[in-house]
Chains A and B, each alone.
Chain A
């Protein structure tokens, strides 16, 4: 079975641009998460979907970050407009739900110049 697939692996953007990160969860998983990882802050939850419904929108990340899940096998994270402080690794994860194991993708490394 395929794991969580994230594309692209690397993204370079100019300040002010719009970027869209993509994620395909493990087939059959009900929960999907977007995290941001930096050395200083570690992993921060951006969004959480359960059965395609947005359950958590990340509080402080609401303004310029928007995650969508149009179907059960595909999610996007849009950052608009990008700022240099958005430079980080963006991780997508999925699980069957509840306390089941969380499976992570390899991440997208975003650099904003």
Chain B
């Protein structure tokens, strides 16, 4: 079965609203990363958060390792936040073999 599941599959917000994206994984993860992919663009690493809570700008990620889940909170969303958010875990403990979820597609309307 799918090792990394993301929800919701898609989300539509009005500018200024907050977004909460979820990532659940079925095996122990030694590394967890969130990526952003702009429409038709390349993937960009947002942050790495294998456990605990991390902040960067308007993004907050909380990972509960024992419960095998992570969330990405986007505060005060902007139209430029539109795109796909991907969660990826590394099961190998070698830092390279990332398994990706299929992503959450976010659309922020003005």
A binds B: yes
Interface residues on B, range: 20 to 34
Report yes or no: A106 in contact with B97, Cβ–Cβ below 8 A: no
Report yes or no: B101 in contact with A42, Cβ–Cβ below 8 A: yes
A105 at the interface (CB under 8 A from B): yes
Binding stretch for chain A, among B42-50, B53-61, B62-70, B75-83: B42-50
- Give chain B residues whose Cβ lies under 8 Å from the Cβ of A93: 43
A69 at the interface (CB under 8 A from B): no
Report yes or no: B48 in contact with A99, Cβ–Cβ below 8 A: yes
A45 at the interface (CB under 8 A from B): yes
B24 at the interface (CB under 8 A from A): no
Report yes or no: A31 in contact with B96, Cβ–Cβ below 8 A: yes
Knowing A104-B42, A104-B43, the reply to whether A97 touches B95 (Cβ < 8 A) is: yes
* Bitwise interface map of B from 82 to 110 toward A, beta carbon under 8 Å scored 1, else 0: 00001010100011111011110000000
- Give chain B residues whose Cβ lies under 8 Å from the Cβ of A95: 96
Q: From residue B84, how far is it (CB to closest CB) to chain A in Å?
A: 10
B52 at the interface (CB under 8 A from A): no
Report yes or no: A101 in contact with B43, Cβ–Cβ below 8 A: no
Whole-angstrom distance between the alpha carbons of A33 and B95 in the complex?
Answer: 12
The total of chain A residues at the interface (CB under 8 A) is: 27
- Give chain B residues whose Cβ lies under 8 Å from the Cβ of A34: none
Report yes or no: B44 in contact with A42, Cβ–Cβ below 8 A: no
Across the interface, B102 reaches (CB within 8 A) one of A42, A50, A55, namely A42
- Give chain B residues whose Cβ lies under 8 Å from the Cβ of A50: 96
Report yes or no: A106 in contact with B95, Cβ–Cβ below 8 A: no
* Chain A: CB-nearest residue to B45: A101
Binding site for B on A (CB under 8 A): 4, 31, 33, 39-43, 45, 48, 50, 55-56, 91, 93, 95, 97-107
Not counting A43-B88, A100-B95, a sample of 17 additional A-B residue pairs whose C-beta atoms are within 8 angstroms of each other reads A40-B102, A43-B86, A43-B100, A45-B98, A48-B96, A50-B96, A55-B96, A56-B97, A93-B43, A97-B95, A97-B96, A98-B94, A98-B96, A102-B33, A102-B43, A104-B44, A106-B41
